[in-house]
Chains A and B, each alone.
Chain A
């Protein structure tokens, strides 16, 4: 028989298995989210659990967010000025920097960095807890690990993401100001005035924050799920951490497209 024809059933089986696995994964994640939401009441009553996780998730990500925001702002200022001055409209630099940061780069880059910085830490932490049977020990003591370990981390991530995105955007705007106004010498008044005229609080700032909130839920959920679901071995934890970064990055970028097309009102 032709080897190509011979290979077809295998390919089909592979595709089918891949699709079924994807659906299974999606269902599992949804179930996990439901479980977290059901058990959130307990963690809100013990809010110090959430503050503790906000500290580890948020404050530890702060440095990388501020530094990246500053450099992204610098680059936007340079690139924007280079292109805008060809059209003799370098006063529009403020709008360009602010809109690109507030609408797109703020939420997206923050979410990508957040997945790399905090998401992996969450996956590894919970994965190790599972590998060292701490989660099983909790269950034996009649402590629900989802209520005690997972839910506080979830809410800490959801709360931290919009805050980090806002800080990223404002630091980025400041970076653009440093390069554009202080170093290159764009008129300061025009820089801020055009920015304020061009950026709408509800259409731009609020939509950016909604985006970052959605990304926060997505990244934290994926990170926690991968940790909770991993094979309880050293290799399993390593794989789960990798999957967290890959899956959450792809999901962020795809979701970003969907959200943007809704917000711009194309459909």
Chain B
């Protein structure tokens, strides 16, 4: 086989590899929904309890992904979790937006849901969301339920 044909086949092989990698990134992975950090802005939110929230979990508003969790820290002064949300620039939220930690499905991953408020002013980059709701901890919920039940039985 001539050297030209060999080169052609090797080229086809490498090209197939690049196509496979591209498909892995776009079709299998989440590169297509990945937002590059250049046109993002940052908001903060303090939660009493974040449950199983993880870094890079989605931030959704009305079920649509508008950003991702950039960082989760523990605030040793107020004893709360300080979550850094990285949102896309094109999405602006009013000042009285409500942030809550929700679960997709019964056993699915946790994410931050933003419910837009009615304020005419928007949250500026670097501001902290005031109104937050912690994750629902199943054990606490069950404990409360059992406690209420016991209380009810007494009466």
Contact = CB atoms under 8 A, between A and B. Distances in A.
A51 B6 contact: yes
Nearest to B11: A51
B14 A199 contact: no
A102 B20 CA distance: 12
A166 B20 contact: yes
B110 to A, nearest CB: 13
A160 B16 CA distance: 11
Interface stretch (A137-145, A189-197, A259-267): A189-197
A83 B113 CA distance: 32
A167 B17 CA distance: 6
B16 A167 contact: yes
B91 interface: no
Given A48-B3, A89-B107, A163 B17 contact: yes
B32 interface: yes
Interface centre among B7, B10, B17 (most CB of A within 10 A): B10
Interface string A187-225: 000001001110111001100010000000000000000
A195 B6 contact: no
Interface in A31-52: 48, 51-52
A52 B10 CA distance: 7
B13 A170 contact: no
Contacts, number: 84
Interface string B80-112: 000000000000000000000000000101000
B31 interface: yes
Contact of A196 (B7, B10, B29): B29
A223 B101 CA distance: 53
Interface string B5-29: 0110111011011101101110111
B9 A59 contact: yes
B20 A201 contact: no
Contact of B28 (A55, A58, A98, A159): A98
B30 A169 contact: no
B131 interface: no
Nearest to A169: B24
B28 A54 contact: no
B13 A201 contact: no
Interface in A74-110: 89, 98, 102
Given A102-B24, A173-B28, A163 B16 contact: yes
B21 A209 contact: yes
B56 interface: yes
Nearest to A166: B20
Contacts of A54: 10, 13-14
B10 A201 contact: no
Contacts of B21: 166, 205, 209
Interface string A54-65: 110011001000
26 contacts: A48-B6, A51-B7, A52-B6, A59-B9, A59-B13, A89-B107, A98-B28, A159-B14, A163-B18, A163-B20, A166-B17, A167-B16, A167-B20, A169-B20, A170-B23, A170-B24, A173-B27, A192-B27, A196-B28, A196-B30, A197-B30, A197-B109, A201-B31, A204-B29, A205-B25, A209-B21
**Pairs of residues from A and B, 6 with the lowest C-beta to C-beta distance, nearest first:** A163-B17, A166-B20, A201-B29, A51-B10, A170-B20, A54-B10
